[in-house]
Protein backbone atom coordinates (compact mmCIF):
# COMPACT_ATOMS: atom_id res chain seq x y z
CA UNK A 1 0.00 0.00 0.00
CA UNK A 2 1.17 3.52 -0.74
CA UNK A 3 2.02 4.75 2.73
CA UNK A 4 2.67 8.35 1.67
CA UNK A 5 -1.05 8.92 0.95
CA UNK A 6 -2.00 7.43 4.29
CA UNK A 7 0.56 9.72 5.86
CA UNK A 8 -1.11 12.75 4.30
CA UNK A 9 -4.51 11.50 5.30
CA UNK A 10 -3.51 11.04 8.94
CA UNK A 11 -2.12 14.56 8.99
CA UNK A 12 0.51 13.70 11.58
CA UNK A 13 3.72 15.26 10.20
CA UNK A 14 5.81 14.07 13.14
CA UNK A 15 5.35 10.43 12.10
CA UNK A 16 6.51 8.31 9.20
CA UNK A 17 4.51 5.21 8.49
CA UNK A 18 6.35 1.92 8.35
CA UNK A 19 3.63 -0.63 7.92
CA UNK A 20 -0.12 -0.94 7.73
CA UNK A 21 -2.00 -4.11 8.44
CA UNK A 22 -5.59 -5.06 8.68
CA UNK A 23 -5.78 -6.56 12.15
CA UNK A 24 -9.22 -7.99 11.43
CA UNK A 25 -12.10 -6.82 9.23
CA UNK A 26 -12.86 -3.98 11.65
CA UNK A 27 -9.44 -2.78 12.75
CA UNK A 28 -6.52 -1.15 11.04
CA UNK A 29 -3.12 -1.09 12.72
CA UNK A 30 -0.58 1.43 11.50
CA UNK A 31 3.01 1.09 12.65
CA UNK A 32 4.83 4.40 12.64
CA UNK A 33 8.08 5.97 13.80
CA UNK A 34 9.04 9.55 14.63
CA UNK A 35 10.41 11.43 11.61
CA UNK A 36 13.32 12.79 13.62
CA UNK A 37 15.96 10.66 15.26
CA UNK A 38 16.45 12.89 18.29
CA UNK A 39 14.36 14.95 20.65
CA UNK A 40 15.47 17.85 22.82
CA UNK A 41 16.10 17.28 26.48
CA UNK A 42 13.24 18.69 28.61
CA UNK A 43 15.82 20.09 31.02
CA UNK A 44 18.49 21.87 28.91
CA UNK A 45 16.22 22.13 25.81
CA UNK A 46 19.08 20.98 23.57
CA UNK A 47 19.42 17.70 21.64
CA UNK A 48 23.22 17.85 21.41
CA UNK A 49 23.96 15.51 24.28
CA UNK A 50 20.87 13.35 23.87
CA UNK A 51 21.26 9.69 23.04
CA UNK A 52 18.80 6.86 22.52
CA UNK A 53 18.69 4.19 25.19
CA UNK A 54 16.48 1.50 23.75
CA UNK A 55 12.72 1.14 23.77
CA UNK A 56 9.91 0.28 26.09
CA UNK A 57 6.89 -1.64 24.86
CA UNK A 58 5.27 0.08 21.87
CA UNK A 59 2.30 2.36 22.49
CA UNK A 60 -1.01 1.63 20.83
CA UNK A 61 -2.95 4.85 20.28
CA UNK A 62 -6.51 5.02 19.04
CA UNK A 63 -6.79 7.57 16.25
CA UNK A 64 -9.47 8.83 13.84
CA UNK A 65 -10.89 6.13 11.57
CA UNK A 66 -9.20 5.38 8.27
CA UNK A 67 -11.43 3.77 5.60
CA UNK A 68 -14.19 3.65 8.25
CA UNK A 69 -12.16 1.24 10.35
CA UNK A 70 -11.13 1.51 13.97
CA UNK A 71 -7.58 2.73 13.64
CA UNK A 72 -4.69 2.30 16.02
CA UNK A 73 -1.26 3.87 15.67
CA UNK A 74 1.53 1.69 17.02
CA UNK A 75 4.41 3.96 17.92
CA UNK A 76 7.63 3.20 19.76
CA UNK A 77 8.15 4.38 23.29
CA UNK A 78 11.77 5.45 22.88
CA UNK A 79 13.93 5.94 25.95
CA UNK A 80 16.22 8.95 25.69
CA UNK A 81 19.09 10.11 27.87
CA UNK A 82 20.74 13.52 28.14
CA UNK A 83 24.41 13.08 29.01
CA UNK A 84 24.77 16.74 30.06
CA UNK A 85 21.88 16.74 32.50
CA UNK A 86 22.16 13.04 33.38
CA UNK A 87 18.41 12.55 33.05
CA UNK A 88 16.39 10.00 31.18
CA UNK A 89 13.11 10.73 29.44
CA UNK A 90 10.70 9.05 27.08
CA UNK A 91 9.99 10.32 23.56
CA UNK A 92 7.00 12.66 23.64
CA UNK A 93 4.61 12.93 20.72
CA UNK A 94 2.60 16.01 19.74
CA UNK A 95 -0.40 13.97 18.63
CA UNK A 96 -0.91 12.22 21.96
CA UNK A 97 -0.22 13.24 25.54
CA UNK A 98 2.04 11.07 27.70
CA UNK A 99 0.41 7.90 29.00
CA UNK A 100 -2.81 8.47 27.06
CA UNK A 101 -4.33 5.88 24.75
CA UNK A 102 -6.35 8.22 22.53
CA UNK A 103 -4.88 10.80 20.15
CA UNK A 104 -5.70 14.48 20.62
CA UNK A 105 -7.62 14.52 17.33
CA UNK A 106 -9.65 11.53 18.43
CA UNK A 107 -10.45 13.19 21.77
CA UNK A 108 -11.62 16.40 20.16
CA UNK A 109 -13.75 14.44 17.67
CA UNK A 110 -15.38 12.60 20.59
CA UNK A 111 -16.07 15.83 22.45
CA UNK A 112 -17.48 17.48 19.32
CA UNK A 113 -19.85 14.55 18.81
CA UNK A 114 -20.87 14.33 22.45
CA UNK A 115 -21.77 18.03 22.55
CA UNK A 116 -24.44 17.52 19.91
CA UNK A 117 -25.80 14.20 21.20
CA UNK A 118 -25.70 11.88 24.18
CA UNK A 119 -22.53 10.19 25.39
CA UNK A 120 -24.12 6.83 24.60
CA UNK A 121 -24.80 7.80 20.99
CA UNK A 122 -21.35 9.27 20.54
CA UNK A 123 -19.78 6.15 22.05
CA UNK A 124 -21.68 3.97 19.62
CA UNK A 125 -20.67 6.13 16.65
CA UNK A 126 -17.00 6.00 17.60
CA UNK A 127 -17.05 2.42 18.92
CA UNK A 128 -15.66 3.58 22.23
CA UNK A 129 -16.81 2.76 25.79
CA UNK A 130 -19.43 5.21 27.13
CA UNK A 131 -17.38 5.82 30.28
CA UNK A 132 -14.41 6.91 28.12
CA UNK A 133 -16.59 9.34 26.16
CA UNK A 134 -18.02 10.75 29.39
CA UNK A 135 -14.57 11.15 30.87
CA UNK A 136 -13.20 12.97 27.79
CA UNK A 137 -16.28 15.15 27.70
CA UNK A 138 -16.08 16.04 31.40
CA UNK A 139 -12.44 17.00 31.03
CA UNK A 140 -13.14 19.18 27.97
CA UNK A 141 -16.23 21.00 29.30
CA UNK A 142 -14.51 23.39 31.77
CA UNK A 143 -12.10 24.50 29.05
CA UNK A 144 -14.86 24.92 26.45
CA UNK A 145 -16.97 26.83 28.92
CA UNK A 146 -14.09 29.17 29.70
CA UNK A 147 -13.56 29.81 25.97
CA UNK A 148 -17.26 30.53 25.42
CA UNK A 149 -17.41 32.94 28.37
CA UNK A 150 -14.29 34.72 27.14
CA UNK A 151 -15.80 35.06 23.65
CA UNK A 152 -19.07 36.38 25.12
CA UNK A 153 -17.21 39.06 27.10
CA UNK A 154 -15.14 40.08 24.09
CA UNK A 155 -18.30 40.45 22.03
CA UNK A 156 -19.91 42.58 24.76
CA UNK A 157 -16.84 44.81 24.95
CA UNK A 158 -16.40 45.22 21.21
CA UNK A 159 -19.97 45.49 20.00
CA UNK A 160 -21.44 48.96 19.68
CA UNK A 161 -24.96 49.55 21.02
CA UNK A 162 -24.62 46.97 23.76
CA UNK A 163 -27.92 46.20 25.49
CA UNK A 164 -27.52 44.45 28.83
CA UNK A 165 -30.21 42.48 30.61
CA UNK A 166 -30.21 42.07 34.40
CA UNK A 167 -32.59 39.63 36.02
CA UNK A 168 -32.92 37.58 39.17
CA UNK A 169 -33.68 33.90 39.36
CA UNK A 170 -33.64 31.12 41.93
CA UNK A 171 -32.78 27.52 41.28
CA UNK A 172 -35.70 26.48 43.56
CA UNK A 173 -38.63 28.81 43.92
CA UNK A 174 -38.40 30.93 47.08
CA UNK A 175 -34.80 29.94 47.74
CA UNK A 176 -31.82 32.22 47.54
CA UNK A 177 -31.86 34.44 44.48
CA UNK A 178 -29.05 35.00 41.99
CA UNK A 179 -28.60 37.69 39.38
CA UNK A 180 -27.85 36.92 35.75
CA UNK A 181 -26.12 39.42 33.46
CA UNK A 182 -26.88 38.98 29.77
CA UNK A 183 -25.93 40.56 26.49
CA UNK A 184 -29.42 40.77 25.00
CA UNK A 185 -28.38 41.69 21.49
CA UNK A 186 -25.76 38.95 21.31
CA UNK A 187 -28.04 36.51 23.20
CA UNK A 188 -25.24 35.41 25.52
CA UNK A 189 -24.99 35.07 29.27
CA UNK A 190 -22.02 36.96 30.66
CA UNK A 191 -22.13 36.05 34.31
CA UNK A 192 -24.17 34.88 37.28
CA UNK A 193 -23.64 36.36 40.72
CA UNK A 194 -25.07 35.26 44.04
CA UNK A 195 -27.74 37.55 45.53
CA UNK A 196 -29.87 40.42 44.27
CA UNK A 197 -29.58 42.99 47.08
CA UNK A 198 -27.80 46.28 46.52
CA UNK A 199 -24.86 45.19 48.70
CA UNK A 200 -24.41 42.00 46.62
CA UNK A 201 -24.57 44.00 43.40
CA UNK A 202 -22.08 46.62 44.55
CA UNK A 203 -19.70 43.91 45.74
CA UNK A 204 -19.84 42.25 42.32
CA UNK A 205 -19.11 45.50 40.50
CA UNK A 206 -16.16 46.31 42.76
CA UNK A 207 -14.65 42.86 42.18
CA UNK A 208 -15.25 42.83 38.40
CA UNK A 209 -13.56 45.77 36.69
CA UNK A 210 -14.35 44.16 33.35
CA UNK A 211 -18.04 44.64 34.06
CA UNK A 212 -17.51 48.30 34.96
CA UNK A 213 -15.63 48.80 31.67
CA UNK A 214 -18.67 47.82 29.60
CA UNK A 215 -20.44 50.65 27.83
CA UNK A 216 -24.08 49.61 27.57
CA UNK A 217 -26.39 51.90 25.67
CA UNK A 218 -29.32 50.51 27.63
CA UNK A 219 -29.95 48.06 30.46
CA UNK A 220 -33.18 46.08 30.64
CA UNK A 221 -34.40 44.97 34.08
CA UNK A 222 -37.46 44.61 36.26
CA UNK A 223 -38.69 47.40 38.53
CA UNK A 224 -36.62 46.43 41.59
CA UNK A 225 -35.15 49.58 43.15
CA UNK A 226 -31.80 47.86 43.88
CA UNK A 227 -31.17 47.14 40.20
CA UNK A 228 -32.03 50.69 39.15
CA UNK A 229 -29.78 52.24 41.80
CA UNK A 230 -26.95 49.88 40.96
CA UNK A 231 -27.12 50.41 37.21
CA UNK A 232 -27.33 54.18 37.68
CA UNK A 233 -24.14 54.00 39.74
CA UNK A 234 -22.27 51.75 37.31
CA UNK A 235 -23.52 53.14 34.00
CA UNK A 236 -24.89 56.66 34.54
CA UNK A 237 -25.34 57.21 30.79
CA UNK A 238 -27.23 54.01 30.05
CA UNK A 239 -30.98 54.13 29.45
CA UNK A 240 -32.77 52.00 32.05
CA UNK A 241 -35.63 50.04 30.55
CA UNK A 242 -38.24 48.23 32.63
CA UNK A 243 -38.96 45.02 30.76
CA UNK A 244 -42.39 44.40 29.31
CA UNK A 245 -43.10 41.31 31.38
CA UNK A 246 -42.94 43.20 34.68
CA UNK A 247 -44.70 46.31 33.37
CA UNK A 248 -47.53 44.11 32.09
CA UNK A 249 -47.86 42.62 35.58
CA UNK A 250 -48.21 46.04 37.20
CA UNK A 251 -50.65 47.28 34.55
CA UNK A 252 -52.85 44.21 34.99
CA UNK A 253 -52.80 44.58 38.81
CA UNK A 254 -53.85 48.24 38.52
CA UNK A 255 -56.61 47.48 36.04
CA UNK A 256 -57.91 44.80 38.40
CA UNK A 257 -57.98 47.29 41.29
CA UNK A 258 -59.88 49.81 39.19
CA UNK A 259 -62.28 47.11 38.05
CA UNK A 260 -62.96 46.03 41.65
CA UNK A 261 -63.62 49.57 42.85
CA UNK A 262 -65.82 50.39 39.84
CA UNK A 263 -67.67 47.09 40.19
CA UNK A 264 -68.61 47.96 43.79
CA UNK A 265 -70.08 51.31 42.79
CA UNK A 266 -71.99 49.67 39.94
CA UNK A 267 -73.55 47.12 42.32
CA UNK A 268 -74.70 49.80 44.72
CA UNK A 269 -76.56 51.67 41.99
Q: Which residues bind Zn ion (CB under 5 A)?
A: 41, 43-44, 82, 84-85
What are the start-end ranges of the H helices in the chain? 3-10, 104-116, 119-126, 130-158, 198-207, 209-213, 225-234, 244-268
Q: Smaller CB distance to Zn ion: residue 48 or 146?
A: 48
Q: Report angle CA 193, 235, 213 to the nearest 5 degrees.
A: 70
Q: Alpha carbon of 157 to those of 22, 123, 217, 236, 239: distances in Å?
A: 54, 39, 12, 17, 18
Q: What minimum distance in Å lies between the beta carbon of 63 and Zn ion?
A: 31
Q: Smaller CB distance to Zn ion: residue 82 or 214?
A: 82
Q: Smaller CB distance to Zn ion: residue 30 or 82?
A: 82
Q: Smaller CB distance to Zn ion: residue 84 or 117?
A: 84
Q: Is 99 helix (H, G, I), strand (E, B) or coil?
A: coil
The residues facing 97 across adjacent strands are: none
Q: Smaller CB distance to Zn ion: residue 72 or 89?
A: 89
Give 198's Cβ-side CA count (13 Å radius). Answer: 10
Angle between helices 130-158 and 104-116 (to 10 degrees): 80
Q: Is 184 helix (H, G, I), strand (E, B) or coil?
A: coil
Q: What minimum distance in Å lies between the beta carbon of 55 and Zn ion?
A: 20
Q: What minimum distance in Å lies between the beta carbon of 84 and Zn ion?
A: 5
Q: What minimum distance in Å lies between the beta carbon of 48 and Zn ion?
A: 8
Q: What minimum distance in Å lies between the beta carbon of 54 and Zn ion?
A: 18
Q: CA 190 to CA 154: how far, in whole Å?
A: 10
Q: What minimum distance in Å lies between the beta carbon of 79 and Zn ion?
A: 15
Q: Smaller CB distance to Zn ion: residue 44 or 58?
A: 44
Amino acid sequence: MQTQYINEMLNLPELKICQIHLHNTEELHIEAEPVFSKQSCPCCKSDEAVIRKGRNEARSIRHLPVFDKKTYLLVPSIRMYCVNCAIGFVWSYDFVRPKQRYSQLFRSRIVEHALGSTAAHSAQMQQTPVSTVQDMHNKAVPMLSEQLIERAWEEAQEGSNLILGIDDFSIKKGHRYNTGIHNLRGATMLDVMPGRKLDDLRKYASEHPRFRMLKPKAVVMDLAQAYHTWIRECFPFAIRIADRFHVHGYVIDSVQEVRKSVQQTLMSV
